[in-house]
Structure 1
Amino acid sequence: MNGMLAHMREMLSLHGGMALKLSVVVWTVAVLAAVFFVMQA
């Protein structure tokens, strides 16, 4: 678990802005998918 966190921190320091944009996109898609599934049910 600690190695994973260290690796993620390394990746973030390497491409901070890119990772931030990517995570925002992923979160937006996840939220939209959740809302879509709730509306369908």
Structure 2
Amino acid sequence: MLRGYLEEVQAQVLALIGLALIPGIIVELNKRDIRRTG
């Protein structure tokens, strides 16, 4: 029972980390595109 709970918490934590990182990744990709084109 406890293990299932921990797995659920871990999945939520990973989702939050992903949501936090996505904007930074998008910004980095946009910077590279700007350098390449201009």
TM-score under structure 2 length normalisation: 0.56
Structure 1 segment 1-20 matched on structure 2, within 5 A:
16-20=1-5
**Percent identity (aligned):** 8
Q: Which structure would you say has the larger RCO, counting Cα contacts within 8 Å and 6 or more residues apart?
A: 1
Runs of 4+ in 1 over 3 A off after TM superposition: none
1:21 Cα offset (Å):
0.4
Structure 2 gaps, min length 5: 27-38
Which TM-score applies when normalising by structure 1?
0.53
Cα RMSD (Å) of the superposition? 1.0
Gaps of 5+ in 1: 1-15
Alpha-carbon deviations, 1:15-37, whole Å to 9, x = none?
x1010000011000000000101
Q: Which residue of 1 aligns with 2:13?
A: 28
